[in-house]
Amino acid sequence: MTPPDEERVARVALTWLFEPGNRVVWELVQQVGAGEALAVLLGDGLPGGRLRGTVAARLKAGDPRRFAETALRRGHRMGARVVVPSDAEWPGRVDDLAGLEVESGGRVNADTRPPLCLWVRGEPPLGESFARSVAIVGARAASSYGIHVAGDLAHSLAERGWTVVSGGAFGIDAAAHRGALVAGGRTVAVLACGVERPYPAGNAMMFDQILEQGLVVSEWPLGAEPLRHRFLIRNRVIAAATAGTVVVEAAARSGATQTMNRVLSLSRPAMVVPGPVTSAMSVGCHAILRASPDAHVVTSADDVLEDVGAIGEYLPPPPRGEHRERDVLDEESSLVMEALPARGSSTAEEIAAAAGLDLRTVLRRLSLLELTGLIVRRGDGVALARKRGC
């Protein structure tokens, strides 16, 4: 094998031996390279403790190098490739995980370092797909409101050339992927298991569609099971690889809120769709907004793009109500309009008295208002024109 292949084999072997994000393993790879790190971790010089126990347990299942070589050959046959940091398509944003520090304890929060490699299925280049991407995540037990909002956001973002990233799960994730697919855009599913297995199985058809228009990505080698803790490990990649993350519906304690904690820690745009205060699926979203001044409310794709786009790239107009011709009237014309009765007509003298204006001013304003079509002449008086918008 050539040296690049040896590097790839070593990184795959390391992700088979240890869960992704392991701080000690990643730092050792940075210091001595993947091949030497694997040799050290398999050698007799490794001190006792958790790492030694992990290695001993995994070695009972087989040889890590042989597993990696077999997995790479199998992946090649099914169209899956392994992307490493030296590859041109490596998504550079994930390297920011090198500085991620999460205050709360536990192995999932302690081991948040960048991936050693990424398994990829699908044609588009990985880095290019993540370059202009937005993550949309949320509850599996989503409401019809959440499904509608997630799908609409994804559709609008995909139409504007942005990649929609999510986790492939039921609920909000699936709505986001499907919204992008319907728009004919690109979407990426980041899994917590091997890329060869659609999980959940109920979304198998959706995964097939994703592979036609986008990518399926995972840190775990082929054959890896979707264990519960792996979803939490996976979330840091979604947070780091994208330009920003939108949460649409989340319970008080959920994977979506954990993802948002990583987004905020990485100083990425953190966006939240508010929901009904009566819904349990809104609790997590509203808690994020209360706890973090850096989290922004978004209600449309325009709001999202204003946060993630380049400065000045997206400047949506401020929201306005329905335009009415009366909105542009000067103060005197408005007073004249208000002095006119809702039904029937009035003389110029009656209007002047009601509006508190002199007769000359009223006559001048009536002429202008007649030209705009807001009033009509009726005998000796004037009346409001029966026109939509008045």
Q: CA-CA distance, 138 to 308, in Å (whole number)?
A: 19
Q: What tens digit of pLDDT does each residue of 169-214 get?
A: 999 999 999 999 999 999 999 999 999 988 999 999 999 999 999 9
pLDDT exceeds cutoff 80 at 318 = no
Helix (H) or strand (E) holding 272: strand 270-273
User: In which residue are the tokens 């809702």 written?
Assistant: 342
Pair (175, 303) in one structural domain = yes
CB 38 within 8 A of CB 14: yes
CA angle 295, 272, 305 (to 5 degrees): 85
Looking up residue 153, the CATH number of its domain turns out to be 3.40.50.450
Given 70, 87, 118, the domain boundary residue is: 70
Q: Are residues 250 and 140 in the same domain?
A: yes
Domain count, the chain: 3
Locate 169 and state its tokens.
Answer: 């799960």
- CB atoms closer than 10 angstroms to residue 167: 29
Clarify whether residues 86 and 217 are in a common domain: yes
Say if 317 falls within a structural domain: no
Specify the 3-state DSSP secondary structure of 124.
Answer: coil
Is 299 among the domain residues?
yes
Q: Residue 321 pLDDT more than 80?
A: no
DSSP state of 125: -
**Is residue 390 one of the residues assigned to a domain?**
no
Q: Which domain holds residue 9?
A: 1-70
Q: Could you tell me if 254 and 138 lie in one domain? A: yes
Say whether both 349 and 251 belong to one domain.
Answer: no
Beta strands in 59-182 (DSSP E): 80-83, 118-121, 133-138, 163-166
The yes-or-no verdict on residue 66 having pLDDT over 60 is: yes
Q: Which of 78, 86, 66, 52 is nearest to 9 (CA)?
A: 66
pLDDT level of residue 327 (50, 70, 90 thresholds): low
DSSP-assigned beta bridge partners for residue 168 = none
Mean pLDDT of 373-383: 86
Closest to 142 in 3D by CA, of 109, 189, 176: 176
Which CATH number belongs to the domain containing residue 373 in this structure?
1.10.10.10
Q: What is the rounded average pLDDT of the residues 269-293?
A: 94
The reported pLDDT for the residue numbered 54 is 84
Q: What is the DSSP string of 14-27?
A: HHHHS-TT-HHHHH
Mean pLDDT, the chain, integer: 90
86 pLDDT more than 70: yes
User: For residue 3, is pLDDT > 70?
Assistant: no
Q: Do residues 65 and 153 share a domain?
A: no
Last residue of a domain, one of 308, 333, 352: 308
347 and 283 in a common domain: no
Q: What is the pLDDT of residue 45?
A: 61
Torsion over CA: 216, 221, 222, 228 (sign): negative
Is the pLDDT score of 75 beyond 80? yes
pLDDT of residue 232: 92
